[in-house]
Every structure is written in C-alpha cells, then in structure tokens.
Amino acid sequence: MGRLVIVSNRVPVPEKGGIAPAGGLAVALKAALEERGGIWMGWSGKSSGDTDPGPLSLQEQGNITYALTDLTGKDVEEYYFGFANRVLWPLCHYRLDLAEYGRKEMAGYFRVNRFFAHRLAPLLRPDDIIWVHDYHLIPLAAELRQMGIKNRIGFFLHIPWPPADILFTMPVHEEIMRGLAAYDLVGFQTDYDLENFAGCLRREEMGDALGDGRFIANDKVFKGGAYGISIETAAFAEFARKAVSHSTVNKARLSIEDRDLIIGVDRLDYSKGLTQRIDAFERFVVNNPGHQRKVTYLQITPKSRSEVPEYEQMQRTVAEQAGRVNGALGTVDWVPIRYMNRSVSRPVLAGLYRLAKVGLVTPLRDGMNLVAKEYVAAQNPDDPGVLILSRFAGAARELKGALLVNPYDVEGTANSLGRALNMPLDERRERWRRMMDYLLEHDVSRWCDDFMADLKAA
C-alpha cells in the first residue's frame, strides 16, 4: 500500500506533546495518514518577506511527515489574499459583486501552485496517493503532471461550485476547469455542486459527463463525485454529554437564567448571512411580544481573514447591528443578543450547543456547514433542540429533520424561530433522531474512506 500525501493551504501540525488538533477534518485525515504513513504538505502561514522562502521545514511525528513552506510577501498577497480570497472565494459563494479580478493576482495564484508542485515533487514516491484540498490549490495536479508525475491525484473542494454563468465571469475560468480535469478524481460536497461542474464543462463544449461518475475534458477522462464532509459524530456527542459539568458552560447556563437560548456559531464571513440572521431575530422578537425577555440569542463569531477589507468592514457592521437591536429592544435586565468575537474550545462549544433550544444556521451559501452537524450531534436525546438551516447550505441536502429556511426571507426565518421555540417534544425528538441516525452513519471517517476508495479505484 502506497503512502498518502495530503496537500492543503494550511496544515494542522499537532502541537508539541502530540496534542491532536481541533476539528474533525484534521482528525480524520490524520487517522488516514497514520494508517498508511505519509506526508501533509502546505503553507506555514508565514511570510519570508522579500527574500526567497528557505527550504521546506520537515517535522516527523510517528509515520507522518509535516512539510511546511513559507511564501514571499508578494506570494501571500497575490495567491492567498488576492486570487484565492478575493476571486475564488466570493465567486464560489455567488458574490460576483465582491470578486476583484487582477492579472497580477491570477499570475500569483498559478505561480504559487507551481512552486508547491516543485517543492512537493522531490518528496514523492511512485506509489504514493496524493489528495489535494480546496480552492487554493486547483492547478496543483496540472503542475505536477507537467513535471512528469504519474501518481494518482485526487482533489476535494470544500466550498460550493457555482453555475457556468457565474464561473465564466472569471477571465481564467478555462484554466481553472482544465486544472480540475488534470485530477483522477474531483470531489464536491453535494450533487448540486457536481451538476454545476458538469454544466460548466458542457457550456463551452469543453467536456461532458459520460455517466457513472466519469467526465471528459481536454481529451482526458476523469472521475467526479459528491462526498459530503462530516464530523466525528459519536465523539462530539460524547463531548456534549460531558460538557454539562464544564464550568464555562455552567456559567452560561446561569447567565441565561430560564430563558430559551438560540445559538449561532460562524467564522466572520459574508457568506454566513449574519446581518440577515440578526434582522430575522429582531423581527421575531418584535412580532412575538410573548417571547420578549424570554429568549437570548448568542452569536459566537471569531474574526477571520481580517486583512481582507470586506471582513474588516463586516466586523463593524455586525457589531453595530447587534448593538442597535440591543439598544432598541433590550431592558435593564435583558440583553437580547450576545455577540462574541472569540474562538471557544470544542468541549465548551459542544456544551453551549446542547444548552441551546435552537441552532440558527443560515448561511447565504455554504459548501456544507459543519456547525449544523455539530449542533445536531450535541443535543440531549431526551430533549433535543431544533435546527434551523439555510436551504443554501450543502448540509440541507442531508439533514432532513431541520426546519429549512431561505435566509434572504427575513420574515420566513423569523416565523421559523417561532415554530422552533414552540415545537412539541415528540416532533423535536422525531426530527432529531432522523438527523442523528444519518450523522452516526455518515461521519467524517466514512467521508474519508469513501473518497479514498474511489480515488484508489479511479
């Protein structure tokens, strides 16, 4: 059995002492790496400024080698902040208005992918299987192929894939599509993303779907499929069960008194629909005087990518909006919205999810959304809360027991909040059971195994 080589923009290197990194994805991929032995390569997150990045930093942990490279300041600006986060991210989340195309950034993106390929190639053995992750690294396989690398290479996209009319606004869409066609297997989160991808191939007769998960483009046949990512369901449920005695969770319980808790947990990102969500909560409270003073909405939102101007602006907008609603609706003994800009540990997060009667997950567009799955896994089986989920999250294709909402419809989301808070126990249990059974079967290890099995067979 060949080794597994994972390449992703950032690498969750375990801290000294071998503490496992947080998050199901890191855990699942690490388990797959440990089983086969292998390499996890990516950017160190550091800039070498104007000087060339030094040699790869190699760290051995058991049979896994973590291989990290620095990037120059220009690379970070053009590849990471520029093309990845100001072109591909907004575009794949249907935000044409926020995409800023620039030749320099596009060139930087392809240049850094070539650089990654050149750094990776000397580490490879002929029977290694390579698994590349996410939108930062789409051209990597094409670059490796150019260097004569014949290994099996798979790609998984964590974010949505847009329809042709959106993708084709990007001047280099053909190169990006050709980049994907260079893989042996291309994985998307949902069947909708896969359909969009097939539509993009067909639109300009670049290629086509051949059936049985096979596609053709550039005279090359390759495989494509939908592999919905998931969480470590059983482990997360166990965290939540134990978290009832965690001091931070206890403090939170005391501070909400006997009010109903609604929880939102998202990275600060315009795709997450935070302003529409706060509007919906405000509408709910205004429309339902009986719930006033009886409900608290906790929004936990660590800052992300604050170097990108849109994110800086959004931070101010969301904080001001929450402040305005609290000013308008709050009383001396009731703060309707609590807004936190901090990361919390997995056990505390699990405990807070379990305290909440409603998980409010309303992205405008999301590849999957793991928060929705974590909220379900964390519930008390005897008295579970209700998941309100955007129909535009990939998770809506799987979590059939959720109350699905259109996040652009503020009134509709407000009505769903009322329905969730008044839902009878029997219905809550029935909806939760369906979702939990699904998640126990479709956890992150299954996602990893399914992808790997198809890659080996591709």
- How many residues bind ligand ADQ, per CB under 6 A? 19
Site membership for ligand ADQ, residue 288 (CB under 6 A): no
To ligand ADQ, the closest distance from the beta carbon of 229 in angstroms equals: 4
Q: Which residue has the tokens 């000087």?
A: 51
To ligand ADQ, the closest distance from the beta carbon of 186 in angstroms equals: 15
Instruction: Indicate the residue among 70 and 193 with the shorter CB distance to ligand ADQ.
Output: 193
Instruction: Indicate the residue among 117 and 300 with the shorter CB distance to ligand ADQ.
Output: 300
Site membership for ligand ADQ, residue 398 (CB under 6 A): no
Letters for 104-143 (x = contact with ligand ADQ by CB under 6 A, - = none) are ----------------------------------------
Site membership for ligand ADQ, residue 291 (CB under 6 A): no
- Annotation marks residue 70 as catalytic: no
Residues contacting residue 248 through CB under 8 Å, at least 6 positions apart = 344, 348, 351
To ligand ADQ, the closest distance from the beta carbon of 400 in angstroms equals: 18
Among 194, 280, 337, 349, binds ligand ADQ (CB under 6 A): 349
Kindly name the residue from 193, 366, 443, 454 that is annotated as catalytic: 366
Instruction: Indicate the residue among 124 and 138 with the shorter CB distance to ligand ADQ.
Output: 138
Interhelix angle 274-287/309-329, nearest 10 degrees: 10
Question: What are the structure tokens assigned to 226, written together?
Answer: 């939908």
Instruction: Indicate the residue among 9 and 343 with the shorter CB distance to ligand ADQ.
Output: 343
Q: Which residue has the tokens 């990939």?
A: 394
Site membership for ligand ADQ, residue 369 (CB under 6 A): yes
Letters for 211-250 (x = contact with ligand ADQ by CB under 6 A, - = none) are ------------------x---------------------
Among 39, 371, 376, 378, binds ligand ADQ (CB under 6 A): 371
Among 370, 378, 421, 452, binds ligand ADQ (CB under 6 A): 370
Kindly name the residue from 158, 184, 279, 442 that is annotated as catalytic: 158
DSSP designation for 225: E
- Annotation marks residue 158 as catalytic: yes
Among 105, 260, 282, 374, binds ligand ADQ (CB under 6 A): 374
Among 2, 14, 23, 213, binds ligand ADQ (CB under 6 A): 23
- Cβ pair 78, 109 in contact under 8 A: yes
The interface region with ligand ADQ, picked from 55-63, 117-125, 201-209, 369-377 by CB under 6 A, is: 369-377
Q: What residues from 152 to 191 belong to the interface with ligand ADQ (CB under 6 A)?
A: 158-159
Instruction: Indicate the residue among 110 and 375 with the shorter CB distance to ligand ADQ.
Output: 375
Instruction: Indicate the residue among 374 and 443 with the shorter CB distance to ligand ADQ.
Output: 374
Sheet containing 358-361, strands listed edge to edge, beginning at the edge strand earlier in sequence: 337-340, 295-300, 260-265, 358-361, 386-390, 403-405
The interface region with ligand ADQ, picked from 113-121, 173-181, 247-255, 264-272 by CB under 6 A, is: 264-272
> What per-residue string of b and e applies to 351-389 under the rule 16 or more CB within 10 Å gives b?
bbbbbbbbbbbbbbbbbbbbbbbbbbbbbeeeebbbbbb
Return d(Cα 27, Cα 41) in angstroms, integer. 16
Pairing between β-strand 185-188 and β-strand 207-211 as defined by DSSP bridges: unpaired
Among 366, 398, 443, 454, binds ligand ADQ (CB under 6 A): 366
Site membership for ligand ADQ, residue 29 (CB under 6 A): no
Return d(Cα 173, Cα 78) in angstroms, integer. 17
Site membership for ligand ADQ, residue 300 (CB under 6 A): yes
Return d(Cα 400, Cα 309) in angstroms, integer. 37
Site membership for ligand ADQ, residue 267 (CB under 6 A): yes
Question: What are the structure tokens assigned to 74, written together?
Answer: 């220009």
Pairing between β-strand 260-265 and β-strand 358-361 as defined by DSSP bridges: parallel
3-state secondary structure 284-349: HHHHCHHHCCCEEEEEECCCCCCCCHHHHHHHHHHHHHHHHHHHHHCECCECCEEEECCCCCHHHH
Return d(Cα 198, Cα 207) in angstroms, integer. 8
Phi-psi region of 334 (alpha: psi -120 to 50; beta: other; left: phi over 0): beta
Give the interface with ligand ADQ as residue ranges (CB under 6 A): 23, 158-159, 229, 265-267, 300, 302, 343-344, 349, 366-371, 374
- Active site positions, annotated: 158, 366
